[in-house]
Amino acid sequence: MKTRPSAKGHGRAAARSFTMVELLVVMSVIMILLGIGVSVYFGLLRVNAMQSEKYAVVAIIQSARSTARAESSETFVCIEPETGRIYPFGREKVGVWHFETLEDSPSRTYGALGHAALVTGGEAKLTDGKVNKALLFDGTYHLRCKMLRGAQWVEIPAYDTHEGVAIEASVAPVHSGADDMTIMSRDGWFGMSLRYDETSKKFALVAFAVVLDADEAGYLKHSASTAPVIRPNEWTHVSMSCHKLSTGITLTINGVEQDLAGSGSEAIPAPLSDTETAIGAAAGGAEYFYGRIDHLIISAYVVDTVHQVSQKLALEAEGLADGNTIRFGPSGELTAEHEGTPPRVLLKEYKGGNVVSSSVTITVGPMGALDVETWNK
């Protein structure tokens, strides 16, 4: 005999099911919550991306200012809005020579950074220096700057200064009849020397440097000289600097930038890369120095890490020197090129054409302090 399900059992089964309308309502609520969650998630991603870029740009500007103060030299922040790139450009020491000792009977002297200067020609002599000891050059020898690689002495790669070079030294020159006396040189690339003037009985500071041009499309040879103001037999601090963003060579004597008595620039083919660097003579042995040299430093201008701003953001700038740089002076202050218009770096996120949805404005004050403003629509 067939039995029929009870009405009571059928009612319990009905209570456990959902109608189509209820399912649609639940699914709609879930979709709304998912939409809100996804929107919030991507919003947080955009905020985090902007924050990350802000911190990166601030770090680059602060790094350039710190380098300027540490090296007591002009340092740059280069900004390329069209490519979204920003990077610091400044100098770093690549060779330091104190000339305190001579070794190996005596055939070499050692500098900092693992470098050695090999005595070539006559016999090197130590004497009283500006600080402790110095080398006495008598026109019979010079030093060849090398580093040990395996069992061989090789040229120092760090002296490849195609983006810029700076040299400084303390010298006490002696006139011995020679017109030009080289302090330091690298064959085909740079040189700093003294030129004797018979009328004043003093020396002029003379230099040349070969660096890339501003577009890095070729090489320029810059040359410069001062009036004869350096006295024989007296300690004098001299320096030269030249780099691809400069228009020529800067010469200083005892910390004071000199008006140039002569200068020039010309385009030349790229020099050979693996050439000799010498102290106390031109490379290969010529224009020997007479007198004392102490505490010689060579620095190379280098581009630090290049930061690429996210393609989702626009990199913009205002108040830049020469249209594309922020320039810090030796004390970390903005240089005279920024007078009256503080430089600003802007990061913008555009939404729908020219509508800005969020932005960061980084303003550099006259003394190098940063003011950072964030705006969100």
Query: What gap in Å lies between CA 126 and CA 183, rounded to an integer?
Result: 16
Q: Tell me the three state secondary structure of residue 273.
A: coil
Catalogue all structural domains in the chain, each as residue range(s) with its CATH number: 42-84+309-376 (3.55.40.10), 91-303 (2.60.120.200)
Element (DSSP H or E) covering residue 117: strand 116-121
Which one-letter amino acid corresponds to residue 120?
Answer: T
Contact 146, 118 (CB under 8 A): yes
Q: Phi and psi at residue 158, in whole multiples of 5°?
A: -65, -15
CA 122 vs. chain centroid, Å, equals: 38
Each residue's pLDDT tens digit in the chain (377 positions)? 455 555 555 555 455 677 877 777 777 777 777 767 655 555 545 556 788 899 999 999 999 999 999 988 999 999 999 999 999 999 999 999 999 999 876 688 998 888 999 999 988 999 999 989 999 999 999 999 998 887 788 888 888 889 999 999 999 999 988 889 999 999 999 999 999 999 999 999 999 999 998 888 899 999 999 999 999 999 999 999 999 999 899 999 999 999 999 999 999 998 887 788 999 999 778 899 999 999 999 999 999 889 999 888 899 999 998 889 999 999 999 999 998 889 999 999 887 667 778 889 999 999 999 999 988 76
CA 95 vs. chain centroid, Å, equals: 16
User: Which residue is associated with the tokens 């020396």?
Assistant: 203
The pLDDT of residue 4: 53
Give the strand pairing for 260-268 and 219-226.
Answer: antiparallel
Query: What gap in Å lies between CA 134 and CA 344, rounded to an integer?
Result: 47
Query: What gap in Å lies between CA 111 and CA 293, rounded to an integer?
Result: 14
Distances (CA, A) of 272 to 162, 187, 327: 11, 9, 31
Residue 128: how many CB atoms within 10 A of its CB? 12
The pLDDT of residue 38: 58
Query: What gap in Å lies between CA 172 and CA 231, rounded to an integer?
Result: 8
The pLDDT of residue 1: 47
Query: What gap in Å lies between CA 282 and CA 64, rounded to an integer?
Result: 34
Q: Tell me the three state secondary structure of residue 62.
A: helix
